[in-house]
Structure 1
Amino acid sequence: MRFEHETLPQRVHFAAGEARAAIRSEVARLAGSRVMVIAAPAEADLAKSVAADVPVVVHHDDVVMHVPVETAQRARRAADDHGVDVLLCVGGGSTTGLAKAVALTTGLPIVAVPTTYAGSEATGVWGLTQDGAKTTGVDPRVLPRAIIYDAALTLSLPVPLSVASGLNALAHCVDSMWAPHTDPLDQALALEGIRALAAGLPDVVADPAGLAGRERLLYGAYLSALAFSSAGSGLHHKICHVLGGRYDVPHAQTHAVVLPYVLAFNSPAVPDVEHRIADAFAADSALDGLQRLRRAVDAPTALRDHGLPEYAVEDAVPAILEAAPADNPRPVTGAAVRRLLRAAWEGSDPAVTGK
């Protein structure tokens, strides 16, 4: 066994009902006196409530999915105009992504308060979209200094979106098992993340107002992001970044749909990894375990249901081939990508992509 693994410097608060106190503590730790709160309109009231004890100079709600460059520029100007010294983001992946875009050019510290299971808060990965192309990178400036996980803040997240977001986190875990820089620690985190998410998703569906299932999802999302941050983007994420950037399809639902098709495609080439994923699902095979979970939670099943045009099945192929990792467990060919996209667009049996 031989590998190098970098652990990211970050504080994590995990406690239901304690977001407001934790935010106060972290802003004080950063000596923040001019806080910019970033939250989409749907989370504006929540953000004002949890930020009530810190010196806020501006509330910024211009949040757009996939973080268009123009949106990032407006947020950077707002931070500069108000002399901001701390960024506080409250919301999902798009909100965290916008805070990262500001930090990327300003170096301002971020305190992240996630209300979904996107996992962006635990990585140094940033993403910006321009002219139909999504560009991603890694920079230590965008890693939030602190994360505040409060399951009570996720109670208003509707069950269908909770399911899609949780499966997005699960995709981080699965991709991390064979991503370009994966190591044994990444895989251990990913497998524990799979177990937590596979337990938490049915709990949230059965009891949307309960905290136990939502805490499991936050825990699993954090583990998934730690694994993904180190392991890097595998084929699954490269496909979803192309689809999101070019066709503006919803992030979580796209990941939720594409996941079983990439799992079916890659897993036959790495049977040892496939067996470990299957064990994490307590199933006979990795794909069986994932599909059993997806049926139990009524997961999204077809990209056409979420706005992907049919012409994308062909149109996206060159960009995906260009982005695909060179060391993917199986060779990524044009024919394979077309077959995978067609099946995911239609919502047909994922097993066809493994043949």
Structure 2
Amino acid sequence: MTPYSISQLFIVKFVKNIRETFVLSLRKLLFLGRYKELIIFPRWRILVQTKNRAVVGILLMVFLFFVILMVFATFTVKVFNDESKVFDSQNKRGQIAVIEVSGPIMQAKETVELLEKAEKDKSVKAIILRINSPGGAVGPTQEIYEEIRRIDSAYNPEDKTASGKPIYASFDAIAASGGYYLGAAARKIYASPGTLTGSIGVIMNFTDLSKVFEYFKVKQTPVKAGKYKDIGSPHRSMTNEESGLMNKMIQVVHKQFMRDIEATRKEKLTKEILELAQGQIFSGEEAKELGLVDELGSLWKAGRDIHKELNLEGEFALKYIKKKKKSGFWDLVDNLDQATTNIRLSTMVNYMPMLIFGK
């Protein structure tokens, strides 16, 4: 039995004893005198003598003490959680890890943690990044790209002490813009013929609401230190100089995008990267003809090919690595905090987005 299970059983038994004491105390209160009011607590119906304030006070103190103990027990159980409780590895027999990237890429933390988990897992011989994303913010996408390159570049089949793992990419329904950016970091890309990919480009959206504010007679008076501090503000039109500055920055990020693709695929492309990086959307079949994709096939075809390529022993199986879902009190608080963060990020996207969305 693990230390975690022993501690958990101890806490459960402790809380159970407290609860029994609490119930016994409540039952004793029923014989104190006449009762004129019915108060309903969860699971218990208790008659309380309204004239006896001391009894009511003691009852409330016991109840409060019980609640505090429950919170303490939940927190203590959480403390005993270790890394094995954070990650969930489905199909432990699999030697090929699958890490899923789904939806807009707005944060790098979770994907990077899963990559590091797969890297440290000695039973994992290769990693497949399963991408189903239209793109996302530039910064997080580049952070994940760098982590993929680090792990993949460190792989050396001749050196048994090497910590790296070969990383492959498998495109789902869509892997556009930032989604393709991540795929380009892998040593080989698989996609279905109908997968939507490409959209290699950068976009920023600004909304000029100055006429709307003028119509409703709303005037903003910014107080700023720095000539360009309110650049892109919805309360006024952007000047030609400001527009030029933003376009210059966009071009720099666009060059970074193209440079990172060429770092791994320059010899595979059938056309110049600048011609392919104008935001066009390609099907998986078209992308293969252009050298943006290596093979046409599903996730399972990719897994079987990798199993054969690396001469892995045993039966082919995929091992999904995910963050474990939790339902504890403090995990609920964490989830609420994460939801708030996501809403805040969505709001930021509407006002100052620097995105590589596949649109």
TM-score with structure 1 setting the length? 0.27
Bigger RCO (CA 8 Å, 6+ sep) = 2
Larger radius of gyration: 2
TM-score with structure 2 setting the length? 0.27
